[in-house]
């Protein structure tokens, strides 16, 4: 099966959805943005930078004199927190709700922009009192509570870079990130609510900080009220120190290239990398893309991004994009099935959420739980639905549109990475005729294409490697403390181009389809087969909710396809199901893509950000010791899977 034929197969059942007329008629961004950006890319970004309020307007746009080290808007000065908070109050919108916080136990709290300004100012004053200065690093290890946003903005306000570490990571993972960033202060909480119970955070910090001599203070937010160990002189209650601060704080401007944050990648493909982002270019693109891709109308929309603040989606599309745009948003602390599997839809109904941003892993879970659950709630407020994190299977895309979006809403499948800082490839909801499963085309001002092994651009209808051919404002500036790794990882495979590490195809219209990580591509009897395509074929079977596919070494075919499958809520395993699924893939994609083994499992190994870690499944399938599991949600999943897989794969 050539890649061309398999794509044709995948497109056979393709459906297209035109933008709703009403949305198109009043869309924030229309088709001419592509032309304008193509005619003058830098001029386009200079114009978008004017969305922000600068203390000193930049006169330069891009400095690319020392590639791959970019500077954007280098002679401009701004304060990122001022842009996310104060200016909205100054514009008369202080009474607008910035955050509707919904705690897992059912407590809720709404914070206006004026209140947010006071809270961020107090926190900034508190950090200053504790000796944090411009250029320092602060580690943040918090649950999904408003203080996480306030802490990040307080750091930005005083020019300290934050390094947010996902609240579920172990003490070891926190300690290595604190050490790598050389953080001076840590902000944490006693705990947070997860799955109906308070879950402690402070013990991991106590352990991690005992190994981090440079940390002078630990600021502790009280969330659950549970008992905590206390180190006198080091630990400080957040409420005690912030309550006695002034709510006045004058935000100083910083250079556009001043570091804003360090964030470690999810670790799907290996050891996490500490990605450095800076201020002016990052905020420009986070703000523009949030405005364009969600068509945000700050006066009327209620936006909700379900990502955790500990990964990049939480940074760019909970904190910096929406708040710089003056959005009203929902932040939810807990899990989607507490206390019941309709919790998300209950929240959408309660707040009248209009724009929803979530991940394919969540969508597939909702499919698994059943259509009847969202059907119990009023979801008619929704008008744009977003997806991020992994390729979304056409089946899940269509389910999302029908069962959550009532068959009306555009779906924006947004491709980007921790490294890109903001969305890069995505439909525009008022412009694009969408295709389930495709991220479609680079956003205005972004240059992306697909190349072959020799760096030649592939023609429409072919596949290869996704590359970015021009620098962009929110690009990473380096890997923290390791310029050489930055060059080697992203800029060496195809000199002069940014190599994303993802495989992709262009269809006959030139639209881009993401095909999963290059490391995961399988080579079966001389044919390249993408994990995404086989997984999508499996998920298109009515009994399958989710699947992960890997290529395991095989004496005859080079690699053999091994599929791990989770069934939908109502489906039952049966003796002939594995065979039926193999045949289904054979019929959908061709006989070569038929998995050699199909294993029905209850869980898949996922990162904390919800992505499938195929490299671990490959380790199991090839009987190797497991690689880095530090960012895995639940390591017992691997034992269960291991017990399902006999060491020598049998012939069928
Ligand atoms: P690591 O780099 O440590 O392996 P990671 O790549 O999972 O971790 P992130 O930066 O959170 O860390 O994820 C970016 C990756 O997620 C992309 O490179 C791509 O593989 C995948 N991805 C994100 N959005 C999409 C999307 N809309 N379609 C397809 N793939 C996506
Ligand atoms: Mg990555």
DSSP symbols for 176-209:
HHHHHHT-SEEEEESEEEETTEEEE-HHHHHHHH
Say yes or no to pLDDT of 652 above 50. no
Segment 85-95 mean pLDDT: 98
Which ligand has the shortest distance to the CA of 357? 1
385's enclosing H/E stretch is: strand 384-387
Indicate which ligand has the atom closest to the C-alpha of 418.
1
Distance from residue 163's CA to the centre of ligand 1 (Å): 19
User: Which ligand ends up closest to the CA of 611?
Assistant: 1
Determine the average pLDDT of the residues in 293-308: 98
Alpha helices by DSSP H, listed for 319-436, are: 321-324, 343-351, 360-369, 372-375, 394-399
Q: Which residue has the tokens 């308070």?
A: 198
101: enclosing H helix or E strand? strand 97-102
Give the pairing of strands 597-600 and 558-567.
parallel
| pLDDT(648) > 70 | no
Lowest mean pLDDT among 227-236, 343-352, 491-500, 574-583: 574-583
Q: What local confidence, expressed as pLDDT, does residue 636 receive?
A: 80
Per-position b or e across 83-114, b if 16+ CB within 10 A of its CB = bbbbbbbeeebbebbbbbbbbbeeeeeebbbb
Domain ranges of the chain: 3-503, 525-644
Predicted confidence (pLDDT) per residue in 423-432, tens digit: 999 999 999 9
Give 168 Cα–ligand 2 centroid separation in angstroms. 20
> If you classify domain 3-503 with CATH, what class do you get?
alpha beta
What's the pLDDT score for residue 569?
Answer: 79
Distance 390 CA to ligand 1 centre (A): 6
pLDDT digits (tens, 9 = 90+) for 247-262: 999 999 999 999 999 9
CATH of domain 525-644: 3.30.300.30
CB 142 within 8 A of CB 166: no
Which pLDDT score, from 0 to 100, does residue 269 have? 75
**HEC profile of 462-518:** CEEEEEECCCCCCCCCEECCCHHHHHHHHHCCCCCCEEEEEEEEECCCCCEEEEEEH
Span from the CA of 173 to the centroid of ligand 2 (angstroms) = 18
Question: Closest Cα partner for 320 from 280, 357, 277, 283?
Answer: 283
C-beta of 420 in contact with ligand 1 (< 6 A): no
- What is the share, in percent, of the chain residues with pLDDT greater than 90? 84
651 confidence band (pLDDT: 50, 70, 90): very low
- Is pLDDT above 50 for 3? no
Which atom from ligand 1 is nearest to the alpha carbon of 264?
3
3-state secondary structure of 418: coil
Q: How far is the CA of 416 from the centre of ligand 2 (A)?
A: 9
Per-residue confidence band for 91, with pLDDT thresholds at 50, 70 and 90: very high
Distances (CA, A) of 252 to 56, 259, 379, 591: 12, 14, 43, 63
The whole-chain average pLDDT of the chain stands at 93
Compute CA 398 distance to the chain's CA centroid, rounded to the nearest angstrom: 21
- At 645 the pLDDT is 66
Q: Does residue 388 have its Cβ closer than 6 Å to ligand 1?
A: yes
pTM of the prediction? 0.94
Q: Is the CB of 421 under 6 A from ligand 1?
A: no
Note the pLDDT of residue 1: 40
Q: For residue range 516-563, list pLDDT tens digits in order.
A: 999 888 999 888 899 999 999 999 999 999 999 999 999 888 999 999
Ligand 1 pocket test: which of 307, 311, 390, 504 has the largest number of ligand atoms within 8 Å of its C-beta? 390
Judged against a pLDDT cut of 80, whether residue 594 lies above it is answered with: yes
Cα 528 to the chain's mean position, in Å?
A: 27
pLDDT of residue 620: 85
Tokens (6 digits) for 180: 């790598």
Q: Is the beta carbon of 517 within 6 A of some atom in ligand 1?
A: yes
**What average pLDDT does this structure show over 134-144?**
98
Residue 632 pLDDT exceeds 90: no
User: Is there an atom of ligand 1 within 6 Å of 312 CB?
Assistant: yes
pLDDT greater than 60 at residue 4: no
Answer yes or no: is pLDDT of 6 > 70: no
Residue 474, ligand 1, Cβ within 6 A: no
pLDDT at residue number 14: 66
Per residue in 29-62, pLDDT (tens digit) is 999 999 999 999 999 999 999 999 999 999 999 9
Give 417 Cα–ligand 1 centroid separation in angstroms: 5
Q: What pLDDT is attached to residue 168?
A: 85
């Amino acid at each position: 099966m050539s890649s061309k034929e398999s794509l044709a197969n995948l497109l056979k059942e393709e459906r297209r959805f035109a933008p709703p007329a009403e949305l198109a008629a009043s869309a924030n961004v229309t088709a001419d943005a592509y032309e304008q950006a193509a005619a003058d890319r830098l001029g386009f970004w200079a114009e978008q930078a004017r969305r922000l309020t600068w203390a000193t307007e930049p006169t330069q746009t891009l400095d690319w004199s020392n590639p791959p080290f970019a500077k954007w808007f280098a002679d401009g000065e701004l304060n990122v927190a001022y842009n996310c908070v104060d200016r909205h109050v100054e514009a008369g919108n202080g009474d607008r709700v910035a955050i509707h916080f919904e705690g897992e136990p059912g407590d809720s709290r709404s914070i206006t922009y004026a209140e947010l300004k006071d809270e961020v100012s107090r926190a900034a004053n508190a950090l200053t009192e504790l000796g944090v200065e411009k250029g320092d690093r602060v580690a943040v290890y918090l649950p999904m509570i408003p203080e996480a946003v306030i802490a990040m903005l307080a750091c930005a306000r005083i020019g300290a870079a934050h390094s947010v570490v996902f609240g579920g990571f172990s003490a070891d993972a926190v300690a290595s990130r604190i050490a790598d960033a050389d953080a001076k202060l840590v902000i944490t909480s006693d705990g947070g609510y997860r799955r109906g119970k308070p879950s402690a955070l402070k013990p991991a910090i106590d352990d991690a900080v005992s190994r981090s001599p440079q940390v002078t203070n630990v600021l502790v937010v009280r969330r659950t009220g549970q008992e905590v160990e206390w180190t006198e002189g080091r630990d400080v209650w957040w409420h005690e120190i912030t309550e006695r601060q002034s709510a006045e704080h004058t935000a100083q401007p910083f250079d556009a290239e001043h570091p804003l944050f360090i964030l470690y990648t999810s670790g799907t493909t290996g050891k996490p990398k500490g990605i450095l982002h800076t201020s002016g270019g990052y905020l420009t693109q986070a703000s523009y893309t949030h405005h364009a891709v969600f068509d945000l109308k700050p006066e009327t929309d209620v936006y909700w991004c379900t990502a955790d603040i500990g990964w990049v989606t939480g940074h760019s599309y909970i904190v910096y994009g929406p708040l710089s745009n003056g959005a009203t948003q929902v932040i939810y602390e807990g899990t989607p099935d507490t206390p019941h599997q309709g919790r998300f839809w209950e929240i959408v109904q309660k707040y009248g959420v209009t724009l929803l941003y979530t991940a394919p892993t969540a969508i597939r879970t909702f499919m698994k739980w059943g259509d009847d659950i969202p059907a119990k709630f009023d979801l008619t407020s929704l008008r744009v639905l977003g997806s991020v994190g992994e390729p979304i299977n056409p089946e899940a895309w269509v389910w999302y549109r029908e069962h959550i979006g009532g068959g009306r809403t555009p779906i924006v499948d947004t491709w980007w990475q921790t490294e890109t800082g903001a969305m890069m490839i995505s439909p525009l909801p008022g412009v694009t005729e969408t295709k389930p499963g495709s991220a479609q085309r680079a956003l205005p001002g972004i240059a992306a294409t697909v190349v072959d092994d020799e760096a030649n651009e592939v023609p429409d209808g072919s596949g290869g490697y996704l590359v970015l051919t021009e620098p962009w404002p929110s690009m990473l500036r380096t890997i923290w403390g390791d310029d050489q790794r930055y060059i080697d990882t992203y800029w060496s495979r195809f000199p002069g181009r940014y190599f994303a590490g993802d495989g992709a195809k262009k269809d006959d219209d030139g639209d881009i389809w993401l095909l999963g990580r290059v490391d995961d591509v399988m080579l079966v009897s001389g044919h390249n087969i993408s994990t995404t395509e086989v997984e999508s074929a499996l998920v298109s079977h009515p009994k399958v909710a989710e699947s992960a596919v890997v290529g395991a070494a095989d004496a005859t075919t080079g690699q053999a396809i091994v599929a791990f499958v989770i069934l939908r809520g109502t489906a039952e395993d049966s003796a002939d199901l594995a065979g039926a699924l193999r045949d289904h893939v054979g019929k959908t994609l061709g006989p070569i893509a038929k998995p050699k083994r199909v294993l029905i499992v209850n869980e898949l190994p996922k990162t904390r950000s919800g992505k499938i870690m195929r490299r671990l499944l490959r380790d199991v399938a090839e009987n190797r010791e497991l690689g880095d599991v530090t960012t895995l949600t639940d390591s017992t999943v691997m034992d269960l899977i291991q017990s399902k897989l006999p060491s020598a794969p049998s012939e069928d």
